[in-house]
Structure 1
Amino acid sequence: MTFEKIKAIIVDQLDKDEEEVQLTTNFREDLDADSLDLFQIINDIEDEFDVKVETDEGINTVEDLVKYVDSQLV
């Protein structure tokens, strides 16, 4: 559930195909996302899940982001 919502946000923000966004996908290497892209994605995720992401440090893959959001939802 979390992954699907995050995937939709990433696809929308980065104008990518859904097939390009998997758990192992790296934001910078696989999606060519820069820090502004990541900032925008995180803002949308904060709004969608009502969580606060303090830093994008350590968030390199989609899975990192999904795990972080899940940990905040507990």
Structure 2
Amino acid sequence: MSQSLGREDVMTKVREHLSAELEVDQAEISEATRFKDDLDADSLDLYELVMELEDSYGIKVSEEEASRIETVGDAVDFVAGRLRD
């Protein structure tokens, strides 16, 4: 995967995935959107998002790291940080 992907590219990918999986309008998904409280995402939804990010970007996310991701912005920051490493 190209290391030149920026934060906006990651945000777009996360927004598209969540919109499709949770049947939510992409316009309703911002960086401050909380997975559980705002999107009613359960642990399986979050697991599927982590798997999608791992596959799309060639990164690994531990259970501990995943448990700290509470908002869309957290997920985007995590992936963008891994792509810079």
Please give the TM-score of this superposition, normalised by the length of structure 2.
0.82
**Map of 2:27 onto structure 1:** 19
One-letter code of the match for 2:27? E
Q: Flag structure 1 segments of 5+ consecutive residues without an equivalent.
A: none
Within 5 Å, which residues of 2 pair with 1:1-74? 1-55=9-63, 56-74=66-84
Please give the TM-score of this superposition, normalised by the length of structure 1.
0.93
One-letter code of the match for 1:50? G
| Structure of greater Rg | 2
Percent of aligned pairs sharing the same letter = 35
Q: Distance in 2 between matches of 1:28 and 1:9?
A: 15
Q: Flag structure 2 segments of 5+ consecutive residues without an equivalent.
A: 1-8
**Moved >2 Å (runs of 4+):** none
